[in-house]
Structures are given as structure tokens and as C-alpha cells.
Amino acid sequence: MTNKMWGGRFSAGPAEIMGEINASIDFDQRLFAQDIAGSLAHCAMLADRDIISKSDAGEIKRGLEQVQSEIEAGSFTFSRGLEDIHMNVEARLAEIIGPAAGRLHTGRSRNDQIATDFKLYVRDVIGLLDDQLAGLQAGFVAQAERHAATIMPGFTHLQSAQPVTFGHHCLAYVEMLARDRGRFEDARRRLNQSPLGAAALAGTSFPIDREQTAKALGFDSPARNSLDAVSDRDFVLETLAAASICAIHLSRFAEEVVIWSSAQFRFISMSDKFSTGSSIMPQKRNPDAAELVRAKAGRIIGALTALMVVMKGLPLAYSKDMQEDKEPAFDALDNLSLAIAAMTGMVEDMEPVADTMRAAAAAGFSTATDLADWLVRVAGLPFRDAHHITGSLVALAEEKRCGLEDLSLADMQSVNKAITEDVFSVLSVESSVASRTSLGGTAPENVLSEAKNWKRALKD
């Protein structure tokens, strides 16, 4: 079937395979609200500039509002023969109000129309993601406040390193998510220029007011170059880059949930809300939600990579390749939203197993650095000497199959005579975390203070 909207140029209808590859309505129909919002703003401007009559503008507005109601009610029939959301809306508008519908497209093109629609959509999604990320931050902050003094091992190379607190660990993710929110906000700020009125690529000879339509749609200003306005998708790329980094942060915590909830670690317990059983092993409780969050990071990163490859070789201005920008972006942003929601639920649901974590924090000579610091601070040794002496004491404790705190004073003095009874005051995990009072340190008083600051910031 020839598309009557542009069929005057062609004498025969497209081959079936052309119709299949060309149509985008199956996925871009979700842009209907943004498309209609852009059309309403454009219509009002055309009337204000006397490019179309007030009566035609009134009819167009009435018709567009009816189209939106039909789509929202689920009674609208989308046609693949009409290719995209723009043509589907315009065709139905023509059915409702007649020939006046054709005046709506004056001074614009589908090129600036889709760029406008997509910017509006991405901007809306960024707002939603920001709210979700703030909620996830609040979940981590609540855990930090409850567990400011709950001791756990801190790891490097997944090896026990130094004792930290569970609250401090949670606040690390609050900081990461804050940067994620900042990246999305940066992307939103840069995308907030309106392409509408750039037309196909060169602007238009009609006396349109692009400032008016930009303001009506909540943009900061019109885009300043018509070629750039219709041909670039860096606003999608930047948003997907922010989404990918955010997904990596979610994936890192998801990995920790998988590890911590295992029988080998048993650092946290999770309810059945975010776990599943095994079809054959009745004892299993699998952290499927965390595993799926972890997997979705690859999907989101893949969307960014796909669009970068689409865009990398395109000459100015618009090319049909850019139709491939929407599906991966929709999928990635949908899945990021789902991952954030799932992670928020898991963070609120998880309960640290304090005794297990404290025992693990005490293992592996995790207070060795505290011993070295004591030798510097009290015995006055250079740190490199203190490091060497501490290593010798660790070797002695390994030989005796005990912890550093279980060595006798005589054992310690056999390595260095300067060691006194006071050294035992720094060898417990509680003493270790309490001593880390430097800015950003894990001391419980620091954690409570930072949790309070974040609660206030999130509320504001």
C-alpha cells in the first residue's frame, strides 16, 4: 500500500520487505504524548504568527486532544502502513477534523519532529530515574544509620584488608549514586534545546517563532543550528553513558549481594521477596533479583555501544540509520529503571548478620595496619620499618596459628623491644574502626554524621 502522506512522489507501493524494515510504529508509538505535545505547541505558534487561522488551530487542538484520549484509552489503531507515530497521529487527525489537519505540518519536518519528541522523552525519563535513584540512596542511608557501628571486613582484591562498618560500605554507594544523578542532570541540561522548527535540515521560510515553541515545551532555548538540531543524537548517547555507569554501580552491589548471601559468606540475609528456590535442590535460596540486576548492566552498556556504532559514520544531516536510536534506548532506560527498583527493594530488605561479619572482619590479620600505625605513632619508627616489623609479627602469628591480638607481649617483644602492653589497645576490630576518624573514614561517629548529612540533602 502506498503511504498517502508521501505517496505522490512514487507510482508504486513499497515492496513488503521495505515496509517491514522502514516502519517504526511498533516501537515509536510510545512517543505519542511527546509527539502530541510538540504538535500542540507548534499549532499554537502557527496561529499566533498568523501562519494558520485561529479556527483551524482550534480544530487541530481539538483533534489532537481526541487522538491522545483514544491512545490513552487503548482504542486507537496503529497502522504499520503509516510508518511512524507522526503519520499515525496526523492520519487520525485528518479523519477527525478533515483537511485542516494538513496545515499542522507547516514549517516543520518529521526530522525536527522526531528529534523534539525524543528529547522530550529522554528528559522525562531522566526525571523518573532521578527520583528512583534518590529513593535508592535513601535506602542505603537508612541502612547506614542503623548499622553505623556494625563491623564487617573491608576488602581489596576480595581479600580481607581492614575492618570497616556496614554503614560506611552503604554510604560508598550513596556517593556513587549521587554522581550518577549528577551525570543524568548534566545530560538533561545539555539536551534542553528545542529542535522544533529546524524543519528537515535548513530551517523554514515561514515566519515561525522558535522561542515560543521552545518555551511552551519547557526547553531552555531553541537549538541554534538547524543541521545539528536534526542530525545529532548525542543527547541519547550521553544519557546512555550515564545509564551505563549507573548500571555498573548497581551491578557491583548486586555482585556483593550474591557473594554476601551465599552460605560461604552469610553476611546478609534476604527474605523470599528477592530470592527464588531450586527446582531440584530444596535447600537453595538463590539471589535471582541481584543476578538479574547484574546481567542488565551488559544490556544497558550494549545499547550505548550499539548507538555509538550507528552514529559514528553518518554525514550531516539526517539519515534513516537514526531510526535505530530508539529501540536500544527504550530498552536500556526501561531496564535501568527496573534494576533501580529491584535494587531499592533489596537494599531495604537485606539484614546484616552482624556476628558473622564481625568474625570475618577479625580474621586474616585485618588489624595489621593498626599495629604498624601504632609502631609509628607510639614507638616513633619510620613507617617502612614498622611495616617490616608488622610483617614479621604476622608471620609469627601464622606460625602459632593465632591472631595478632592473641600473641603475648613477650612474643611481640621478641621481634621488637619497643613494643609495650599498650599495643593491644589497637588490635581489636572495634578499636580499629573507631580510630578511623579522618574525613571520609569508617569510624561510627563519621558514618552517623554522614548519614545525617545525606538524609538532610535528600530531603532538600
Beta carbons within 10 angstroms of residue 417's beta carbon: 9
Dihedral angle computed from the Cα positions of residues 264, 270, 273 and 276, in that order, rounded to the nearest 10 degrees: 10
Catalytic-labelled residue, pool 11, 75, 157, 279: 157
Q: Are 78 and 25 in contact (CB under 8 A)?
A: yes
Phi, psi for 434 (deg, rounded to 5): -65, -30
Helical spans, DSSP H, in 164-233 = 166-191, 210-216, 226-231
| Residue-level pLDDT at 5 | 55
432 counts as catalytic? no
Go through 143-164 and write b for each residue having 16 or more CB atoms within 10 A of its CB, e for each that does not: bbbebbbbbbbbbeeeebebbb
Report CA Rg, the chain: 31
Helical spans, DSSP H, in 74-109 = 85-97
The 3-state secondary structure of 149-173, one letter per residue: CCEEEEEECCEEEEEEEHHHHHHHH
- What residues contact 189, with CB distance under 8 A and at least 6 apart? none
| Residue-level pLDDT at 13 | 59
Catalytic-labelled residue, pool 53, 221, 278, 449: 278
Collapsing DSSP to helix, strand or coil, 40 comes out as: helix
Collapsing DSSP to helix, strand or coil, 351 comes out as: strand
Q: Which residues pair with 162 in a beta bridge?
A: 154
| Residue-level pLDDT at 1 | 43
168 counts as catalytic? no
pTM of the model: 0.90
The pLDDT profile of the chain, 460 residues, written as one tens digit per residue, is: 445 555 555 555 567 778 778 889 999 999 999 999 999 999 999 999 999 999 999 999 999 999 999 999 999 999 998 999 999 999 999 999 999 999 999 999 999 999 999 999 999 999 999 999 999 999 999 999 999 999 999 999 998 889 999 999 999 999 999 999 999 999 999 999 999 999 999 999 999 999 999 999 999 999 999 999 999 999 999 999 999 999 999 999 999 999 999 989 999 998 888 765 555 554 557 888 999 999 999 999 999 999 999 999 999 999 999 999 999 999 999 999 999 999 999 999 999 999 999 999 988 888 888 899 999 998 889 999 999 999 999 999 999 998 888 899 999 999 988 898 888 988 889 999 999 999 999 999 999 999 999 999 999 8
| Residue-level pLDDT at 66 | 98
Strands 221-222 and 193-194: parallel
Element (H, E) at 222: strand 221-222
